[in-house]
Amino acid sequence: MNDSVIHIEGLHKSYETSAGLFPVLKEVSLHITRGEFVAVMGPSGSGKSTFMNILGCLDHPSAGSYRLDGHDVATLDKDALALLRNRTIGFVFQGFNLLPRMSLQDNVALPLIYCGVERAERHQRARELLVKVGLEKYFDSMPNKISGGQQQRVAIARALINRPSLILADEPTGNLDSHTSTEIMALFESLNREGITIVLVTHELDVAQHAQRQVHFLDGRIVNDHATLHTEASL
């Protein structure tokens, strides 16, 4: 299991603003192999979310190359990118991004609609995942009727529904209290043990402790990339 999932070389990203081009990512290179659990850290505004959106094929780099699972993303058309987002990547957002007015089961099953899975199977797989994230009692609840931690579990279940090989999470615990975030991190750890590669953005050191590797951003560059040092306290 030493093959490459994410291979990034010389990545640049600038936003066009009224004051001209605004560089956010400068000369970022990163290599992540299958099965890794990476925490991306750094101060606010250092470009972490921008980086994650590019990893998630939601946004395009201004320059540099990004190979995902061996495919050069720059050469893929919109449908192929949608397919990657659907099958290969599971994205977990800080704000959960569940669809309101849709039951948890339907929210979790939503990605399956876009790859032609039958209704019965969609529901069955969604229920299995809701059980897995500990929400067996809430199949038909609405997103606004459950807590933030529960919503984030639903979002994780949705990210998992198409059995992705990569999970990208941008501050998945940013809106949660420390107890709930420990639970969510335990969930990520167990997913990682099943072989899923995880890249996760966080501000909190103790959250980052769950990862095997930490990548530090500062002002649009990677300034530090090291294995997690497990202290007594975190174990």
Ligand X SMILES: Nc1ncnc2c1ncn2[C@@H]1O[C@H](COP(=O)(O)OP(=O)(O)OP(=O)(O)O)[C@@H](O)[C@H]1O
State the nearest-atom distance from the C-beta of 104 to Mg ion, in Å. 26
Closest to another protein by CB, 88 vs 180, is 88
48 makes contact with ligand X (CB under 6 A)? yes
Contact residue for ligand X among 22, 60, 115, 189 (CB under 6 A): 22
The rounded radius of gyration (Å) of the Cα atoms in the chain is 18
Contact residue for another protein among 17, 21, 101, 194 (CB under 8 A): 101
State the nearest-atom distance from the C-beta of 45 to Mg ion, in Å. 8
Closest to ligand X by CB, 35 vs 47, is 47
The footprint of another protein on this chain (CB under 8 A) covers a number of residues equal to 27
Q: Which partner, Mg ion, another protein, ligand X, none, binds residue 193 by CB below 5 to 8 Å per kind?
A: none
User: CB 45: neighbour CB atoms within 10 A?
Assistant: 12
State the nearest-atom distance from the C-beta of 49 to another protein, in Å. 10
DSSP 8-state symbol, 145? G
State the nearest-atom distance from the C-beta of 119 to ligand X, in Å. 37
Closest to another protein by CB, 88 vs 228, is 88
Residue 209's φ and ψ, nearest 5 degrees, are -60, -25
17 burial via Cβ count (<10 Å: 0-12, 13-18, 19+)? exposed
Contact residue for another protein among 1, 19, 20, 79 (CB under 8 A): 79
193 burial via Cβ count (<10 Å: 0-12, 13-18, 19+)? exposed
Question: Is 87 in contact with 24 (CB distance < 8 Å)?
Answer: no
State the nearest-atom distance from the C-beta of 216 to ligand X, in Å. 11
CB neighbour list of residue 51: distance below 8 Å, 6 or more residues apart:
11, 13, 25, 28, 40, 217
